[in-house]
Structures are given as C-alpha cells and as structure tokens.
Structure 1
Amino acid sequence: MNDLRRAMALLELRPGRVAAAVAAGVATLGSALALAGLSAWLIIRAWQMPPVLDLTVAVVAVRALGISRGLFRYLERIASHDTALRGTTAARTRVYRRLADGDPVASAGLRRGDLLARTGADVDALGDVVVRALVPIAVAVVLGLAAVGWLALISPPAAAILAVALLVTGLAAPWVSARAAARAEADSAAARLRFSRDAVTALDHAAELRVAGLLPQAVGRARRAGVDAVRATDRAAVPAAYAEAAVPLSVGASVLGALLVGITLFADGGASPMSLGILVLLPLSAFEATAALPGAAVTLTRARIAAHRIVDLLDRADRPVPHGARPVAEPCHLRAADLRSGWPGGPDSGPLTLDLPPGARVAVVGSSGSGKTSTLMTLAGLLEPVAGTVTLDGVPLAELEPAALRRTVGFFAEDAHLFETSVLENLRVARGDLTEAEALDVLGDVGLGEWVAGLPEGLHSTLVGGARAVSGGQRRRLLLARALVSPARVLLLDEPTEHLDAADGAQLQRLLLDRDAGFVASERTVVVVTHQLPGDTAADLVVRLRKNSLPAV
C-alpha cells in the first residue's frame, strides 16, 4: 500500500476535481434510486385510479429524473476522465523528470520494452484507479447508506436484509475477486512486460534479425509472451466471474426478502400498497452502485502491481550518490583505467585504458557484439563498469552530479528517437534555446541543407510518424546534428554514419575526427564508434575491439 500511495501521489489529484466527479456519480445513481422509488409509488397509485391531476407532479418528476440520470452520467464521465487524464499526464511528466534528473543508470539497466511498460501501461493503470475504483467506491458508499436509510423509514427488517446483501456485493465479492485475481494479475503483468520487451526488440531490429536468421525466433518469443498474458488474464477472469455472479444473487435475495417482509406488513395492515411497491423496487436500483465494486477491486490489484514497478523505477533514479557529490568543472578530462564494460548478466569486453584530454579525437572500431556501445555507455556513466574505473577530471563518475554529468558527457545512441514534431523541435531536444539560424547552419554541415529547403515548411515541417518520415541516412544525419548542437563537451557518437553511402560516411568521419577541420569545436572531445573507418582520418587514437579478446590500440 505504501507503493500505491507513493505512486498515486504522482497523479497530483486535486480534491476539488475528485469531489466533483463523486458528486456527479452520486447524482447519477441518486436519480436512479429516486426514480425507482417514485416509479413504484406511481405504478401502485395509478392502479388505484385516482384523479389524473393527482399524478401530474409524479409523472413530471419521473421524466425529470430519467433525463437527469443521463445528464449527470455524462457529467460524471467528463469529470472523472478529465481528472484521470490530467493525473496520468502529471505522473508521466514527473516520472520523466525524475529519470532525467536522477541517476542515469536507472533506466539503462532496463530493456526498452520494460521501460516503455513502466512509463506507459503502468501509469495508465494508476489513472484507471480514479475512473474505475476511487469514484465508484465513494459513490457506492454514499448510495448504499442512502438506500438503507430510506428503506429503514418503511421497514427496518427490509433495510437490514438490504444492508446484508449490499455488504456481500460491496465487500465480500470484491475481496474474493481481488484475492483470486492478485496472483493471476501478477503473472499477466510479467507476461505483458516480456511481450513488450520482445515485441520492441523485434520491431526495432527486424532488419538485423532477419539477416541473421533470428527474426522468427524473436517474433515467436513475443507471440508466446502474448499468449501467456492472455492465459493469465483468463485465469483471473474465472474467480472474477464468480464475484460478478454474487451481485444478481444478492439482488434476488434482497428483493425476495423485501417482498416477504412487505407482504407480512401488508397483511397485518402495517404497510400501504405504495410502501409494498417501494420495498420491492428500491433494492433493484440500490445494487447498481455496488455492481462496479468487484471490478474496482481488480483495478486496485492491478494498480498495486503497477505502483510497485513505478516506485522501483523512481527509487533507481533517486539512488543517492555519495555524500558531497561534486559538480562538473572544466576542463573535462575523461580517463578509463582497466575498464571492462558490458550489460548486466552478459559478457564483458576486455580491459581498456583510455586517456581523453579535452579536444581528443578517438575512433572505436569493431564488429557487432564486440562491446562498442556498452563501452560508450560506460564512459558516459549510463552503465556501471564491470571492472576498472572511469573518471572525469580525476573524479569517479559515480561521485558527480548525474544531471551535470549528462550535460557534460553526451552519449548519442544510433537508435535515438525522432519525435513526431518539427525538424527544429527535434534538434531542440538537445538544446532548447537553439535558434533557427543555428539549426540551418548545423543541418547544412551534416548534409541536410537541400533537404530542409525542399520541405513544405522548412524547419517547421512536421516529421509525420517520427523516424518513419525520413530515410535511414537522413535519420542519422538528424541525430548527428542533434549531437553537434548539444552543450556536451564530450561527444560519444554511436554509429553516426551508418546507412550513409560509403563516400559520404567516410567524409563525415574524417570531419568528426579532425580537430582542425572546424566541424566540431577543437576543445570538445569526440569519440566515434563505427564498423568501418577510412584509413586517412586524423584521429588521435584508434581502438579496435574484438569479441572475447583484448582490444587493439
């Protein structure tokens, strides 16, 4: 529950908005409750054939209650969904900020599918609590008490029967449903995480997997995870169905009990025909409020599981650095001593020693799987070293302020995201104050000047579909431009020229690795990872990584 409270705090729910949604829900089912009672009175009174004018007010009230029920339902949906959507927006914003400002190792240790599930579906599960749990529970409590109190004015025994039946549907059935669904929901959540991880891997790397002949296996793993998730959901549906069946059974028992009590009272002369009709029809509407509670219990179960994963992610991001964390200062001299890098649980690269003073130009060359990307991420502080140390100006990366470190040492991944927004805004991801003139200059430097000039709105043209709006080569050039405009003084570039033709790629690598070319400011350090390096670069150092062997320098 502590995890759920911490996660729900991310929604920044305003009590006024929640109260408005609850009030609209109470008005909705209150109209139904009043409509049931008034309809019962009207039916019995009309059977007695009084003057028509005696029924006029009741007829008009029935119409008004029927209309108000639909109106209040609409208002309740608007209020509850507005509160939930505002909450999920606030929660995602806060999660993204905590990840951006916290320890960079937090998200680096997670697969993309897992991270996507935690920031996507898990946050949505928290938002569902407002619509499917918080508001329905509050409405059920208010309406249940009102129905029992109203019935108690006519017959306390009938009110007692209704109260017991409401407790069965409002407490016992949700408890059974939640207990039975908890384990299956946990299994389903784990399967959904595996499905997200495997599906994202298959989608992101379909071309490489197809070439390696591994795409069918990747798709098969995703399919099996999806089937496991469906089966776990089905297992949760069985006990939930029994809990749902408790509602009509309780309704039947309550109506039958009220009918027997009413007939006894009527036979003894203690109740009028109108009271008998109200005793029978009122419970039918009273249970409308509690019918949603088994589903609310399942929603809370899912939210608790989601909250645990979200809180775990935030705790990773909030992992404290040692006391006295230091800001990053000039001149940004990066060193790695006996560095072994790799993903948790996987093989690691051989020991590597690098000395990267300001302005250094280094190329890291190797085949796929040789550890190039993990080496760059370790130099950026995004992965913890398997062995050895990485220091910046003599200070271990773990002792530096994470946000300042990321502003100083920038890792630019080959599969970085392009957003479905303008070309200019995609560059401003790296530097928010970038001007249009600066953007045009850097796009021209990376070879996209003519392309931007040919777009309908130039820099302000939207990349519809993000990366799908550009070719592979254009995407790499845009990502390189984003790196060049960033404030980072150490640029760690992962495959910046992949998907370019050989001549253009070689030329860009020469420019990146030449301190005197003016392509990158001479005081900035540049480390380029590549599969193929032209032989005539001005790199200060070329490191060749090989699988399961020591690097060659």
Structure 2
Amino acid sequence: MWALLELSRWRVAVAIGWGVLALGSGLGLAALAAWLIARAWQMPPVLDLSIAVVAVRALGISRGLCRYLERLATHDVALRAMTTARTTVYRTLARSDFWLRRPEVSPSGGDRSGKPLRRGDLLVRIGSDIDDLGAVVVRAFVPVAVALALSLAAVALLATISPAAAAILAGALVLSGIVAPWLSAKAASEAERAVRADRAEFTAQALTVLDHAAELRVAGRLDAALAAAGQASRRAVAAEDRAAARSAWSAAATPLSIGAAVLGALLIGITLYGPDGGSPGAMTPMALVVLVLLPLSAFEAVGPLPTAAQTLTTARAALHRLDGLDPDSPPSASVGPSARQTTRPPHAKDAANVARTLPIDAHVPELPCGRRIAVVGPSGAGKTTLLMKWAGLFDTPRPGVTFFAEDAHLFGTSVLENLRVARGDLTAEEAEEALRTVGLGNWLDGLPQGVHTDLVGGAAAVSGGQRRRILLARALVSPARVLLLDEPTEHLEAEAGAKLLRDLLDADNGLVEPDRIVVVVTHQLPEDHRADAVLRVSASGQVTTDFAGHGTPCGSADSAHRENPLPSY
C-alpha cells in the first residue's frame, strides 16, 4: 500500500508532528486548566496565576492552529498519494491486455477470481478504491501515530500523580484504542467485502442498462437487467446496515472506557485526598482535579481509532482488487512497484497473449505499401487487432500512426472540444470545415451554437451515424501521418456509407490529404473503390493481400495476388 501510494516519509512525519502538537495542546490545556481552576479556588495573589492564564490562552490558540496545519499536511499527502496511485493504475491498465481477452480462453484476463472485468468494475477501481486508499493517510496512518504518542504522554503524566490511576487509564486506553478497533475491523471485514462486491455489481449492471437500454428492450432483457441492478443495490444496502450496526457496538467501547477511567481516577483521588482537605502527605486539590479531568482529554486521541480500523480494512480490500489489474504481479504483490515501471510499453508477452485470444497470430503482416488500404473480413476475424498492431499498441507506439477505434468516446462537452481530443490547437473554423467535409454540414447548421454546442450526454446526444462522422472528423483533423480507421461508416445509410468509403479510399478525392496514408476496416467494400491494397481476413486467420496496379508509393509493379496463411486458435 505504501509503495502504491508512494508516500513521502517526510511529509507523513510532518503531518504526524502537527497532529501530536494539536492534541498535545489539548491535553496540556486540560491539565493546566484543571490546575488553574483548583488553584484559583485557594484565592492566591493574581500574579501567581498570570503565567498559567497566559499558557492556557496560548494552548487554546495553538490547538486550533496546529489542527488546521495538520489537516493541510494530511490532505496534501493524501491528495498527492491518490494522484500517484491513479496515475499508476491508469498506466497499468494501458499496458494490460485483459480488456482484449476472451474469458473462456484466458480467465486470468479478469480479476484474481478469473471473472472478466467490466466497465463498472473498472470505475470502482479507479474511483472509490483509490479514494479508499487515499483516506488511509487522513483516517488511519496519522491518527494511529498521534494516538500512540498522546496515550503514552497522558499515562506518563498521570503516573506522576498516581501510578494506580495511570494503570487504570492505560487499561481503558488499551480497551478503547486497541480492542475496540480490532473488534470493529473484524466485524466489518465480511460486510465490507459484501458491500464492495454488490456495489461493483450494481455499478456494472447500471452501466449496462444506461449504455444498452434500447438493445436490451428489443431483446426483452431490460426488465431482467433492471432487476439484477436492483437486487445488487439492495444487497449492498443490507450489508452496509449490518456493518453500521456492528460498528455501533464497537463505538460504544470508547464512552464506556472514558467512564471507567474517570470513575477509577475519582475513587483513587478521593481515597488519597482524604477527609482532611489536603494535609501534608496527602493529595493536593490541584492534583485531584488534574487526576479526574486529564483522562477526559486523553481519550480524544483514541476516539478515531475504530474508524481507522474500518478504513484500513476497506483499503486492504481495495488494494487487493487493484492488485488484480497488473497481469505480471502475483496475487500477493502490490501493483505499485511493478506499475511504477510501466512507463515502458506493454511487454511482448502481453501482445502474444492478446493474439492468442484472437484468430490472428502475433506475427501479423506488416502494413502493406499504398496510400489507401482497405481491410475486410467477418466479425471477430481480427481486423481491429491488425490495426492495433500496426499502430504499435502491443509493443512500441509508432509516431505518426494513430488508431481510431469504432467505439471511441464522445465527451459531454462542446463539439469543438470533442475534435480537439485529436489536436489541441484546432480552431473553430477548422473544426467546422472538417465536420462539413464528412457530411455533417446540415446537422452543424441546426445546432444552436455551432461547434460550440455542448453534446449533453456525449454519444447519447447524437445518432449512431452522426457519431461515426464526428469520430471521422476527429481523425481528419489529427496530425497523424497514418490514419487507421476502424469501421468509420458503420451505422450510415448504405449509399452514404459507400460514397464515404470511396472518398476515403481515393487518394485523389481530396477528403484526406494525398500524402497521408489511410487504412480503413469495413464489412462492405464498394466494388468501384480505388484502394491501393485490400487485405482480406478470413474467419480462420488467413490473410490475403490484393494490390491494385495504380498509385502505390513503393513504386513497384507488384499487382500479384499474395496470400499469408497464418495459424489460428
């Protein structure tokens, strides 16, 4: 956990130091105020109390100031750690191949249980799981260290007055600071696992319903999906209620410990003070008041420890789930150290694993010569894998070569900002020109604010065909020299899609600059296309390349039929 969060020992020490000073000021304030009250009862000269009065004021001010600085320090450490952890997880996800694996072929592509990860599972991991890890700093690491230091100080201070009272206080602090948190963590661990599993299930089911409600309704499975999401939500709520009930019993240990410590100190003080009002050798009134009031302040440090135990339990479960995202780490290893080295691209072994889950082998053909290349074949044959391989997504990314997925995300922001995903310095005029080039002129004219109109809900704000054209416009404005387009005309009308394909595969058409290379994956290749090369991928993994006799940048006369039989799995 420490390695994943990459916590700075110096920053954590500073946060603990401010916490000790804050609660230490409170402890000193309680003891000094008790002494001052009892001493003032004896009506001494005012000058005898001046130092104590000033010290009480100073401790009261320093308590609030140190608490504020402690909050700043702990949240600074926590936010830095969460940023580091989230970056590490994203890098691990980027180099992992589990999202391409078929569960029946490679169960290890999911989490440690072999279950394939869904979008909802990933949202839980990169969202609440990392938040839970970050909360460890604020709610566990620092409070535990502060409680240990202050408990020792309180017991030592009370021992100077009465060792017996100090022993009672120590026992009460152990009950409140060790036993109660242990019981809280033990009682909540099982419920926490149920809560997390059901919450992840609810998130996954809810996303499925939100993304595919229309398809589920057509298939007659919408009600079943809604019922599954509702059941997961109810299970999560029930598990949370059980955890809250058990935590309440653990929380009751703290007031019981306070009562026992104060009552014990009071009885011991009365016994030592005696009926003579503080005769020589007996306890003074000031010591009696300090003996009774000091335990009340001592328990302020151990009060958050049951919550700290629950936070640690939650964080350990979150860390276990995050461990499952790293394909190279064993279940007991942290994702941190291995992921910290993941600035490198995915290992070659990962690419081979991906290829084994798809019909095309890892030794796919290189990008053929030509300015316009078409890739055709049935669904699941591995056409997308070819494009990803050519883009270097399985080994070293190739500069100037960009893969544009068919399901690329549309963000809930303006049309212009959605195109700026590919090129950050894109102007509004260039964006409008690109949209009109791909056939969205009429749609653009109907928008209230043109390219500055927000797509509320992202892809839900446009039709399937409009989404494909927007993604194509994003590809056209990108600075990439080689555009790898995955089914850019899907969901378009047959005639419109065929025309757009012909334009994309015609280097002289002007839709794409002639000096750029365009590779298009499609299911329906027009007969009158002008592609320089056509790769045909069969369901069994056979790759056949046909070259046209015109316009190949290689300058060769290779127009012969070439076939690469590849092993399939």
TM-score class normalised by the smaller sequence: 0.7 to 0.9
For the pair 1:478 / 2:491, whether they are aligned, the reply is no
User: What amino acid maps onto 1:417 in structure 2?
Assistant: H
Q: Of the candidates 357, 371, 375, which is equivalent to residue 362 of structure 1?
A: 375
Q: 1:7 to 1:286 in 2, by over 3 A?
A: same
Q: Identify the match of residue 467 of structure 1 among 458, 467, 475.
A: 458
Structure 2: which amino acid aligns with 1:129? V
> Are 1:37 and 2:23 an aligned pair?
no
Cα 1:433/1:99, change in 2 over 3 Å: farther
Aligned residue number for residue 418 of structure 1: 410
Report deviation, 1:279.
0.9
Structure 2, unpaired ranges of 5+:
102-108, 110-116, 329-338, 546-569
Shift of 1:278: 0.7
Instruction: Give the structure 1 partner of residue 171 of structure 2.
Output: 164
1:291 Cα deviation after fit: 1.0
Matched, 1:7 2:4: yes
1:279 is the counterpart of 2:291: yes
Alpha-carbon separation, structure 2, partners of 1:338 and 1:127: 36
RMSD: 4.2
Give the 3 Å change call, closer, same or farther, for CA 325–195 of structure 1 in structure 2.
closer
Contact 2:411 2:459 in 1 (8 A): no
From 147, 158, 169, give the equivalent of 1:140.
Answer: 147
Deviation track 1:243-290 (CA, whole Å, cap 9, x = no partner) reads: 211111111111122112222221284311111111111111111111
Tell me, yes or no, if the aligned pair for 2:482 and 2:517 is still in contact at 8 Å: yes
Q: Is the 8 A contact 2:377 2:538 kept in 1?
A: yes
Determine the structure 2 residue equivalent to 1:216. 223
Cα distance, 1:325 vs. partner?
9.1
Aligned to 1:17: 11
Question: Do the aligned partners of 1:137 and 1:296 also contact (CA within 8 Å) in 2?
Answer: yes
**What is the aligned-residue identity percentage?**
54
Residue 364 of structure 1 deviates from its aligned partner by 5.3
Q: Distance in 1 between matches of 2:445 and 2:17?
A: 56
Amino acid at match of 1:262: G
Hey, what's the Cα distance between the residues in 2 that align with 1:364 and 1:323? 26
Pair 1:404 & 2:397 matched: yes
Instruction: Give unmatched runs, 5+ long, in structure 1.
Output: 327-335, 342-352, 366-370, 382-390
Task: From the superposition, tell whether residues 486 and 37 of structure 1 become closer, same or farther in structure 2 (CA, over 3 Å).
Answer: same
What TM-score do you get using the length of structure 2 for normalisation? 0.74
Residues 510, 537 of structure 1: 8 Å contact kept? yes
State whether residues 357 and 525 of structure 1, in contact with CA within 8 Å, keep that contact through their aligned partners in structure 2: no
Match of 2:300 among 288, 306, 326: 288
Deviations 1:304-335 (A, max 9, x none): 11112212213368697458999xxxxxxxxx
Structure-to-structure mapping, 1:26-425, within 5 angstroms:
26-100=20-94, 102-105=95-98, 110-267=117-274, 269-315=281-327, 321-322=347-348, 340=359, 357-358=368-369, 359-363=372-376, 371=379, 375-380=382-387, 401-404=394-397, 408=401, 410=403, 412-414=405-407, 416-419=408-411
Separation in 2 of the partners of 1:308 and 1:338?
Answer: 26
**Which piece of structure 1 moves more, 171-180 or 418-427?**
418-427
Query: CA-to-partner distance for each residue in 1:17-47, whole Å, 9 max, x for gaps?
Result: 3233222222221222122112212222233
**Given the superposition, is the C-alpha separation of residues 337 and 299 from structure 1 closer, same or farther in structure 2, using an over 3 Å criterion?**
closer
Instruction: Please state whether the residue corresponding to 2:324 is helix, strand or coil.
Output: helix
CA 1:494–1:174 in structure 2 vs 1: closer, same or farther (change >3 Å)?
farther
Separation in structure 2 between the aligned mates of residue 443 and residue 247 of structure 1, nearest angstrom: 65
| Letter of the 1:481 counterpart | A
Greater shift, 273-282 or 233-242, is seen at 233-242
Per-residue deviation, 1:113: 1.1
The 1:139–1:16 alpha-carbon spacing in structure 2 relative to 1, beyond 3 Å, is same
AA at the equivalent of 1:111: R
